[in-house]
Amino acid sequence: MSDIKKVVLAYSGGLDTSVIVRWLQDTYNCEVVTFTADIGQGEEVEPARAKAEALGVKEIYIEDLREEFVRDYVFPMFRANTIYEGEYLLGTSIARPLIAKRLIDIANETGADAISHGATGKGNDQVRFELGAYALKPGVKVIAPWREWDLNSREKLLKYCEERNIPVEMKKGKSPYSMDANLLHISYEGINLEDPWAEAEEDMWRWSVSPETAPDEPTYVELTYKKGDIVAIDGQDMKPHVVLESLNKLAGANGIGRLDIVENRYVGMKSRGCYETPGGTIMLRAHRAIESITLDREVAHLKDSIMPRYAEVIYNGYWWSPEREALQALIDQTQHYVNGTVRLKLYKGNVDVVGRKSEDSLFDEKIATFEEDQGAYDQKDAEGFIKLNALRLRIAAGKGRKL
């Protein structure tokens, strides 16, 4: 007899999680609470309610978390100019801590004994969900069906549904790829993408046109920053999630944001995936541009030096860790003067910075000019600066040391 009486499941309403509802009921003889989050995946989440009810679920949570997702997770990450292994903008990774947090919140609210998720035993998401859960509720029981059952193929899942009268919706034109979407990105894995040499098919992409078919005229856009976050587009104030929604549309229409990479998963394997991050691609470029005129040089270089570590922390699932909080405190401290406006030109897959201005700019035209500077900078000072910085090199060379 199981001691698990109630489980909160991260529920999408798809085949896998619908099977998990019944499997939990059968295996643990427990009550299942479903939690469905709207984080901007682009599909209606309310139908999950009817599917859960058909499976006998009594407590159903469906929540719009779009604003919280961008405000409290995406924006803080972009203050650091975060990018994993030089390319990946962490679209899936940054959504997991919020889902883990709500799973634990709901478990506490409903008196559940455990939480459950549909992540497989091969991927990063199992780690991200569970590290977050344990950080927020140390004694929580986690049930990961993919690590317990033998339903390891679509055929077995469908047979399980048939045997237990679980309704399966067969959508026409459904993508054959394994996909994950939220307001920041959409990812594609599986099928021909498992061959790193195979080019992704053009009809796979959902959010962007190809650069070749993008408009022949550029699109200009101005982004206004306050303390490192975008607060307005073309002078119009917007909430964080509306900012990202708007940038996704602008960038996608101009063929911006496609990525095809092989990444190193935390569990040890290499994985090939394709990503569309249209708005995020603009955000990264624009944020670096506004920082270029507002950040002190050494502060900017310090941020750049810790960014790979910060990216790794998020990718590996340690959002709710003391090291991430310490890094975030440092990053946020650097953003007090990251205010102003960046002007961008979007054209056939490219994002070009064509202007930046700020009341807090450290760019001094009187000093930087190639024209007469009226004594603002004494070029003779450079001689001593260079000699002092060369002192150790001169001493070593004088001793006959070779490089």
- 178 assigned binding-site residue: yes
SS (H, E, C) 344-395: EEEECCEEEEEEEECCCCCCCHHHHCCCCCCCCCCCCHHHHHHHHHHHHHHH
Check if the beta carbon of residue 142 is closer than 8 Å to that of residue 133.
yes
- 37 assigned binding-site residue: yes
Catalytic residue among 125, 208, 258, 272: 125
- 84 assigned binding-site residue: no
- 124 assigned binding-site residue: yes
Q: Count CB neighbours of 217 within 10 A.
A: 7
CA-to-CA distance for 249 and 245, rounded, in angstroms? 7
CA-to-CA distance for 316 and 88, rounded, in angstroms? 13
CA-to-CA distance for 41 and 185, rounded, in angstroms? 8
Check if the beta carbon of residue 241 is closer than 8 Å to that of residue 69.
yes
For residue 309, indicate whether it is catalytic. no
- 210 assigned binding-site residue: no
For residue 358, indicate whether it is catalytic. no
- 316 assigned binding-site residue: no
Catalytic residue among 16, 234, 360, 373: 16
For residue 324, indicate whether it is catalytic. no
CA-to-CA distance for 79 and 347, rounded, in angstroms? 25
- 364 assigned binding-site residue: no
Torsion angles phi and psi, residue 42, rounded to 5: 85, 0
Catalytic residue among 72, 105, 178, 373: 178
- CA proximity to 316, closest of 162, 124, 187, 157: 124
- 11 assigned binding-site residue: yes
- 118 assigned binding-site residue: yes
For residue 178, indicate whether it is catalytic. yes
| Helical segments of 153-277, H only | 154-163, 240-253
- 48 assigned binding-site residue: no
- 304 assigned binding-site residue: no
- CA proximity to 213, closest of 257, 253, 249, 258: 253
Catalytic residue among 66, 79, 96, 272: 96
- 13 assigned binding-site residue: yes
CA-to-CA distance for 173 and 378, rounded, in angstroms? 69
Running DSSP on this structure, what letter comes out for residue 111?
Answer: T
Annotated binding site for L-aspartate: 120, 124-125
Binding-site positions read 10-18, 37, 88, 93, 118, 120, 124-125, 128, 178, 187, 263, 275
Which residues are designated catalytic?
A: 16, 96, 125, 178
Annotated binding residues for L-citrulline, written as ranges, equal 88, 93, 124, 128, 178, 187, 263, 275
- From the annotation, which residues make up the binding site for ATP? 10-18, 37, 118
